[in-house]
Structure formats: C-alpha cells, structure tokens
Amino acid sequence: MMASIFKPSVSLDLRSPKVICTNHLSRKERFEFHKNKNLIKERLCSLKANQAHGSAEATTSVVQEKEVKKQIDYGVVGVHHVGLLCENLERSLEFYQNILGLEINEARPHDKLPYRGAWLWVGSEMIHLMELPNPDLLTGRPEHGGRDRHACIAIRDVSNLKMILDKAGIEYTMSKSGRPVIFTRDPDANALEFTQV
C-alpha cells in the first residue's frame, strides 16, 4: 500500500534544459566548453531566425540545425539510478523498504560487486544502496535537505508521506517555497526530496 505513493501519476519530460557537469575540467577546458556551447546556441538562433524570415539560408538551415544538435546530443533518455552510500545495509533497507515501501529489484547483480548493496525500485528508476565507507562528514550538514546534495522522488501525495514519517518518528522539513515537498534524510544522512506531482 505504501509503495503506491511512488508510482508517477503523470509523465514528466525532464530533458530540457540539458545540464552537463564540467567540474572535472580545468579552467581552460571549462572556458572552451562554454565557448563552444555558446557558439552552437548562437548558430541555432541564427538558423531559426533565418527560417522565420525566409532567407536564402533557410533552405539549408534544417539540415544544419540537425547537424548542430547531433554534435551535442548523445541520447540521454533519463536517470537510470541514484547511488547512495550506507554504513549498514540492513538498517538502510529497514528505512527504504519498511518505512518508504520501496521494493528490491531482484534482477540486479548483488553478488557480482565487491561490496554489499541493494537496488530499490523508485517508479521505473532505482536507488542503488552501496555498503561502503562514506567520505562525507555526517555531522554539520544543513538541517534542510534542499540545501544539500539530494535525490528527488516524485510522489502522488505528500500528506500521506508526512503521516508515514510522523508515525515512524523521522524528522523532515517542508519546502521553504510553499510547494508540496518534503525533505528528509535516510539513516546515513543522505538527503531525499519528495515532490508531489
């Protein structure tokens, strides 16, 4: 019964805007990345403007636009899973299965990895719990999970989840913007956002 709050009631298109992480690049590489990205955007805008005004360039603009888009499109279709570290797998499963109602994906490899873990269904995506040492500090994290790294899960009924968390004695905060959103943490201080769709 609890797992039903995680089944999406609407189809969401999260493909736009596209976000690419450039943190691992040097300053020079980041500059070049953004310069090229801006040139591609400018070219697309120019091609669209020419199309709208019926210029001579409009006849080739459709082909050029597809070529430009092909340069930056590598086939993103969605988020497959989110990996979360845990100190004790059984304690984490107690939270994710027995409180949040998530189910284990038995088809995923548990015995082929060099550490213990579990894959949990979240709609058509998954959370991968990994029993590994956590390099992050567990204390001193922001009280409100929205100001920390977090995974966001779309649900149907925030008020139902609020009752579940209250009954289990799990602390949470509501969205500061007034949206129907709850932020909480798992036993290892991983921040989770639950947003009503």
**HSE-up of residue 168 (Cα within 13 Å, Cβ side):** 21
Predicted local distance difference test score (pLDDT) of residue 87: 94
Same domain as 140, residue 90: yes
Predicted local distance difference test score (pLDDT) of residue 23: 46
Our count of domains for the chain comes to 2
pLDDT digits (tens, 9 = 90+) for 28-83: 555 565 555 555 666 666 666 666 666 655 555 666 666 666 677 788 888 999 99
pTM of the model: 0.64
Q: Which residues contact 32 (CB under 8 A, 6 or more apart)?
A: none
Residue 173 lies in a domain: yes
pLDDT digits (tens, 9 = 90+) for 103-150: 999 999 877 889 999 999 999 999 999 999 988 877 888 888 888 999
Q: Are 117 and 158 in contact (CB under 8 A)?
A: no
Same domain as 158, residue 62: no
| Residues of the domain holding 50 | 27-72
Residue 136 lies in a domain: yes
Q: Which residues contact 2 (CB under 8 A, 6 or more apart)?
A: 100, 101, 164
Same domain as 178, residue 121: yes
Residue 13 lies in a domain: no
How far, rounded to the nearest angstrom, does the alpha carbon of residue 189 sit from its chain's CA centroid? Answer: 17
Residue 43 lies in a domain: yes
Residue 98 lies in a domain: yes
Residue 6 lies in a domain: no
Same domain as 85, residue 35: no
